[in-house]
Amino acid sequence: MTVKSFKIFRVSFSKYEEDSDRAIGLVAAGKVGDALDILQSEGTMSKVNNAIASAYQALDENVKTGMENAQNAASVSTHATWINAAVTLFIVVLCALIGAMLTREIAPRIGRVMTALEHLAEKGSDGARPGIWNR
């Protein structure tokens, strides 16, 4: 409820409440007929209708505000989802580039080590120990 709507509702309801309090006082004094006359009068019914109308107006304003807030939240969420997807895609591309660079640097070295190990294994296939044990 907005402040303005709440004030309108409070004023409307307090006008009805004054009549209701007077009627309660009349009932306590034994004047039930006069109390019914006050509560069923056109003026009191108008005050009740005004209070109800102001409550409905406040409800409509709350619904409108709630819908606007929900739409704003959905819009922000959509933007956040796109940003998240873009950052994730950037990270995947960055990982692929780093992987390609590492492969370009490391694969030739691994190939050279494998070749050296194969040569070393071929030299050692005659039964002799390769390297420092052959001295």
Low-confidence ranges of the chain (pLDDT < 70): 1-2, 124-135
| pTM assigned to the model | 0.52
The confidence score (pLDDT) of residue 73 equals 96
Cα separation, 4 vs 44, whole angstroms: 23
What average pLDDT does the chain have? Answer: 86
The confidence score (pLDDT) of residue 84 equals 98
The confidence score (pLDDT) of residue 80 equals 97
pLDDT per position as a tens digit, 64-99 = 999 999 999 999 999 999 999 999 999 999 999 999
Q: How far are the Cα atoms of 38, 50, 52, 64 from residue 59, in angstroms, in the given order?
A: 29, 14, 10, 9
The confidence score (pLDDT) of residue 97 equals 97
The confidence score (pLDDT) of residue 129 equals 59
The confidence score (pLDDT) of residue 46 equals 86
